[in-house]
Amino acid sequence: MTRRIGFVIHPGFQFLDVVGPVAAFEIASRYVPDGYGIDILAPQAGSMVSSSGLALAALPLDADGFDTIVVSGGQLVTDMGAFRSIVAWLRDVRPRRLASVCSGAFLLAEAGRLDGRAATTHWESAERFRRRYPKIRLEPDRIFTRDGDVWTSAGISAGIDLALALIEDDLGQAIVRRTAQQLVVHSRRPGGQSQFSGLLELGGLSGRFETLVEWIKANLTEPLTVERLAERAIMSPRNFARAFLRDTGTTPAKAVEHLRIEAARHAVETGTGSLEQIARGAGFNDAARMRRAFLRVLGQSPQALRPARWPPDRATS
């Protein structure tokens, strides 16, 4: 059975919001012949120009028979007529699944399709989204969310994570793993993983905390309190906490936890040492604490991420 996927675009859409997920569905169809059929939809049929100047040919929105509709993000206000047409259509369309990439969540929200649900969008638009749509449970720290038959994802490259999750939901882990291998990406970057990761690694929007982040990564086994980090940044604890949150999108405590998890995950995935050794080396003190952090942030235990060739670690269960 071929599942038809309709990608909704608009003037100024983000090209990668569409072509990244399309590539994932296309590759999955190599392993399951006729697994997916892809159509591009827009308020008007014909060529639709993206924010980069590249264009895609689109069918009109009145096309039907779709299993899944994916709404792209981009410069949503370049054509309010197109915006209103898409919103009106989204109010009535009833595919098996609805999804959005990046700021495409604004279109689903405007159509009322996210009311009472959990959702995410690009971190930079999160506060504006929260103020505009108070009926939606915004989860700004997530790569993607699923609430029933509605899926939303964070900025741009997260559309590939979303597509892989949809493929796994349809075709299972074996197919999504092979698809991810062809794309040269993680087969499962969990929805709960922080979308602030890249921003944190860069030291924030201004880059002012880049040196501090590198110091944290080199000293994960130390007690990394806000007071100690503020001292390294030559700031008062209160001003440091505020500035760090503003620049990186996350708190100092969550940043430290994230960096510890990233270090531990790399060690787990490369099979370096026992789980107890990895936990101590990343600053978790013991494997049980590390496991709780993995489950809370990644939605998976360290054992689940350990390569299959490794035997179960006897120190933990």
Res. 192: pLDDT tops 60: no
List, edge to edge, every strand of the sheet that includes 3-8. 46-49, 55-60, 36-42, 3-8, 68-71, 97-101, 150-153, 144-147
pLDDT score at 311: 43
**In the chain, domain spans:** 3-183, 197-305
Nearest to 105 by CA among 52, 158, 60: 158
Mean pLDDT of all residues in the chain?
A: 88
Nearest to 286 by CA among 307, 312, 264, 259: 264
| 250-268 per-position pLDDT tens digit | 889 988 998 998 889 888 8
Q: What are phi and psi of 68, to 5 degrees?
A: -140, 135
Q: How many CB atoms lie within 10 A of CB 59?
A: 14
pLDDT score at 270: 78
Res. 219: pLDDT tops 50: yes
pLDDT band at residue 188 using 50, 70 and 90 as cut-offs: low
SS3 of 25, please?
helix
Question: How far is the C-alpha of 218 from the C-alpha of 248, rounded, in Å?
Answer: 19
pLDDT band at residue 314 using 50, 70 and 90 as cut-offs: very low
pLDDT score at 217: 92
Most confident of 4-18, 146-160, 236-250: 4-18
In words, the CATH class of domain 3-183 is: alpha beta
The DSSP symbol for 193 reads S
pLDDT score at 308: 54
Most confident of 122-131, 189-198, 232-241: 232-241
| 49-94 per-position pLDDT tens digit | 999 999 999 999 987 899 999 999 998 877 899 999 999 999 999 9
Comparing 212 with 202, the larger pLDDT belongs to 212
- Confirm if 264 and 292 have CB atoms less than 8 A apart: no
pLDDT score at 222: 95
Nearest to 156 by CA among 78, 106, 100, 101: 101
pLDDT band at residue 185 using 50, 70 and 90 as cut-offs: confident
pLDDT band at residue 10 using 50, 70 and 90 as cut-offs: very high
pLDDT score at 47: 97
Fold of 197-305: Arc Repressor Mutant, subunit A (1.10.10)
Most confident of 29-43, 65-79, 151-165, 199-213: 29-43
pLDDT band at residue 170 using 50, 70 and 90 as cut-offs: very high
Paired sense of beta strands 36-42 and 46-49, if any: unpaired
